[in-house]
Structure 1
Amino acid sequence: MAVPIKAGIEKIPGGMMLVPMLVGAVIHTTAPGSGEFFGSFTGAFFTGLPALLGAFYLCLGATLDVRTTPYIAKKGGVLLGSKILFAIIIGFIAGRLMGEAPVGGGVFSGLSTLAVVAALNDTNGGLYMSLMAQFGRKRDVGAYSVMSLESGPFLTMVTLGVAGLSAFPWQTLVGAILPLALGMLLGNLDPDMRRFLAPAVPVMIPFLGLTLGLTLSLTAVWKAGLLGVALGLFVVFVGGAVLLLADRLSGGDGIAGLAAATTAGNAAVVPAIVAEANPAYASAAGPATVLIASSLVVSAVLCPVVTSFWAKRVLGQDTLPPDEVTALREPAEA
């Protein structure tokens, strides 16, 4: 008898990242010495996050096509640039208030500049493309090929540095983007390499989630509570307002902007990498990971609701099938 494990996990927003991460956190909380006890391949899961991430970003880079059309480059560039600029502004403000360390007590205990910047910097690509296929122009789906450049710790490191916080050596910055750049080179030089590497991207996500979870304590997850929800609300509503405005100013209708107002599952691994690169962020990494995981769930639930509401208002009617939406909004391109 078949058990629908995959289907069940996928019913949870970001489930392929979150469920394995929760399993890892349970193991780490109840049996923290398991890695040393078993050793070998099993033990490697407790310490192998950087290697897994390097392979993941290389495969992800192979999916990025530099030969994008002008429209896709413009749309993706506007959304990517707006997210980066907004994260820098918020990072600068938060950095002046909190510095590198997390808040030590009170309602905002555990909140850090690292958590906020990482949550803002990475978009849930699967959700964005799904919403664009349902509500937007078909070609808007392709804009994520440009936005994928935000994946990984590179932009978060740059943002923290620009915001005036602890900077990173140039070697670390180059090392953070090198796997993605190498993947892009391979994928664009040889389409067969792109087709070979691309399927590995979704496959590796649960392994990243498990390895990340093996560094977390459920006590920290419990403490995150409403603060993680608040971070998700900030990403969707405040970040969404900025992206909506940027989309409108660039000639769009705002639907793509709102659809990009999410936190990606990949963002949950960024704090650990940043802390490894710069010990100044070590105390913030654990709480930041938990807050980002909460933001992932909240934004994945709310973003479709907000985008649907705005799309209905813009289109002046209920949701249409993708082909009808495209025909309605792009008569000149038919």
Structure 2
Amino acid sequence: MNIKDTMDRIPGGLMLVPLLLGALCKTFVPEAPGYFKGFTQGIMTGVVPILAVWFFCMGASIKLSATGTVLRKSGTLVLTKLVAAWIIVLVASQFIPAEGIHSGFFAGMSILAIVCAMDMTNGGLYASLMQTYGTREEAGAFVLTSIESGPLMSMIILGASGAAHFEPQIFIGAVLPFLVGFALGNLDPKLRALFAPGGQLMIPFFAFSLGNTINLGTLFSPLLGLGLLLAFGVIILTGIPLILADKIIGRGTGTAGIAASSTAGAAAANPVAIAAVAPQFAPAAADATVLVAICIIVTSVVVPVITGLWYKRFGQGLAETNRGDSPMMPAGATPVD
């Protein structure tokens, strides 16, 4: 059976398929973890410890060495995405309380959902689109998107916008696994080789555990419409700045900016991870996870379509001119979504 190949054909499938399986368990057999107990209960409910290991491995996998062009393109896209998310959260925090909205059409919307949907790019989706529609250095520009992975940048945005206050020891505790992994991976290439594969390996496990916090019945509530609204908000509100930055700073056609206007598959883990260290967000975590999951699915489908349309209308000629001798993406690099 070609299970892995089938998952790979689904945008963000390595995250979304186990997430859905976990959600099915939560929806139809919610008593299963308590019934089986032991290791089965651990893998179904152990979101935080599994995320901690994944976060460490993600840090170990990041190597900040590439050509200047790749770093310029990477830095432009990553910083633009983060600044756009910060501005959006800064504005939204004036109207939305930390615990989220509880009535009306916007019931379920929260600052937590907005920041987690907005600030992480689907690196795998971006790289595959740029291999088709961009230059080689544009395809390699996913190298810095790994910095966005995990709750670190979301927490920084929440703190910088005034939407949350994290005590120093709590913030340090949240980012320490990532920093230790980053330090070890860059001090010793053999340690990077040892730990880096865990960044991919852990995704199905924390996705399944995370799915066990989601009741699919919520999809038949107003959250579906709200999720669609948030997803198109991600594409428009981060896509426009990304296009401008790609054209003005990155010296591209804007195609890379469109391709980066998605929500990463791993972003679905952030609401629970942040709520674990910032209890004021706990009431919003479940709905935020559902909204972010909807954003992942919608942006994974819509972004490739509009990237192709943009490329045909504005980018094809210049991209083909520049495609020739551009540097390839770093050997052994793996996009993270």
The TM-score with structure 1 as length reference comes to 0.91
Q: Shift of residue 327 of structure 1? A: 5.8
In structure 1, runs of 5+ residues without a counterpart are 318-324
Q: Shift of residue 262 of structure 1? A: 0.5
Provide the residue aligned with 1:62 in structure 2.
60
Structure 1 position 195 matched with structure 2 position 193: yes
Preserved CA contact (<8 Å) 2:158 2:164: yes
Structure 1 stretches (4+) deviating beyond 4 angstroms?
330-334
Q: Percent identity?
A: 38
CA distance in 1, matches of 2:290, 2:198: 25
Structure 1 position 230 matched with structure 2 position 229: yes
Change in CA separation of 1:134 and 1:44 when aligned onto 2, cut-off 3 Å: same
Q: Shift of residue 84 of structure 1? A: 1.2
Q: Shift of residue 123 of structure 1? A: 0.8
Q: Shift of residue 162 of structure 1? A: 1.7
Provide the residue aligned with 1:320 in structure 2.
none
Count, aligned residues: 325
What does 1:312-331 correspond to in 2, within 5 Å? 312-316=312-316, 328-329=321-322
Which piece of structure 1 moves more, 19-28 or 288-297? 19-28
CA distance in 2, matches of 1:43, 1:330: 51
Structure 1 position 125 matched with structure 2 position 123: yes
Deviations 1:65-93 (A, max 9, x none): 12233222221111111111111111111
Provide the residue aligned with 2:149 in structure 1.
151
Q: Shift of residue 95 of structure 1? A: 0.8
CA distance in 1, matches of 2:65, 2:264: 25
Q: Secondary structure at the match of 1:45?
A: helix
Q: Shift of residue 52 of structure 1? A: 1.0
Deviations 1:228-272 (A, max 9, x none): 111111111221111101111202221211111110111101000
CA distance in 2, matches of 1:47, 1:96: 34
Which residue type is aligned with residue 272 of structure 1? V
Provide the residue aligned with 1:258 in structure 2.
258
1:215 to 185, 193, 213: 213
CA distance in 1, matches of 2:141, 2:306: 20
1:26 to 24, 27, 30: 24
1:167 to 157, 165, 180: 165
Deviations 1:116-161 (A, max 9, x none): 1110111111101111111112122332221211111111111112
CA distance in 2, matches of 1:240, 1:59: 29
1:137 to 135, 138, 142: 135
Which residue type is aligned with residue 36 of structure 1? G
2:180 to 182, 190, 193: 182
Provide the residue aligned with 1:38 in structure 2.
36
Preserved CA contact (<8 Å) 1:152 1:176: no
Q: Secondary structure at the match of 1:303?
A: helix
Q: Shift of residue 333 of structure 1? A: 5.8
1:6 to 4, 7, 13: 4
CA distance in 2, matches of 1:222, 1:333: 48
Change in CA separation of 1:21 and 1:332 when aligned onto 2, cut-off 3 Å: closer
CA distance in 1, matches of 2:325, 2:213: 53
Provide the residue aligned with 1:267 in structure 2.
267
Preserved CA contact (<8 Å) 2:93 2:111: yes
CA distance in 1, matches of 2:2, 2:68: 42
Which piece of structure 1 moves more, 10-19 or 99-108? 10-19
CA distance in 1, matches of 2:230, 2:10: 19
Change in CA separation of 1:34 and 1:332 when aligned onto 2, cut-off 3 Å: closer
Preserved CA contact (<8 Å) 1:138 1:326: no
Q: Secondary structure at the match of 1:68?
A: coil
Deviations 1:171-215 (A, max 9, x none): 222222222222222222222222232323222211111100111
Q: Secondary structure at the match of 2:286?
A: helix
Provide the residue aligned with 1:288 in structure 2.
288
Provide the residue aligned with 1:205 in structure 2.
203
Preserved CA contact (<8 Å) 2:19 2:208: yes
Structure 1 position 239 matched with structure 2 position 232: no
Provide the residue aligned with 1:72 in structure 2.
70
Which piece of structure 1 moves more, 100-109 or 204-213? 100-109
Change in CA separation of 1:179 and 1:140 when aligned onto 2, cut-off 3 Å: farther
Q: Secondary structure at the match of 1:122?
A: coil
Change in CA separation of 1:333 and 1:270 when aligned onto 2, cut-off 3 Å: closer
Q: Shift of residue 332 of structure 1? A: 7.8
Preserved CA contact (<8 Å) 1:157 1:167: no
Which piece of structure 1 moves more, 241-250 or 287-296? 241-250
Preserved CA contact (<8 Å) 2:60 2:195: yes
Provide the residue aligned with 2:330 in structure 1.
none
CA distance in 2, matches of 1:315, 1:327: 9
Q: Shift of residue 12 of structure 1? A: 2.7
RMSD: 1.9
Q: Shift of residue 222 of structure 1? A: 2.5
Structure 1 position 311 matched with structure 2 position 281: no
Which residue type is aligned with residue 85 of structure 2? A
Provide the residue aligned with 2:278 in structure 1.
278
In structure 2, runs of 5+ residues without a counterpart are 328-337
1:101 to 83, 88, 99: 99
Q: Shift of residue 330 of structure 1? A: 5.1
Preserved CA contact (<8 Å) 2:133 2:311: yes
Which piece of structure 1 moves more, 185-194 or 106-115? 185-194
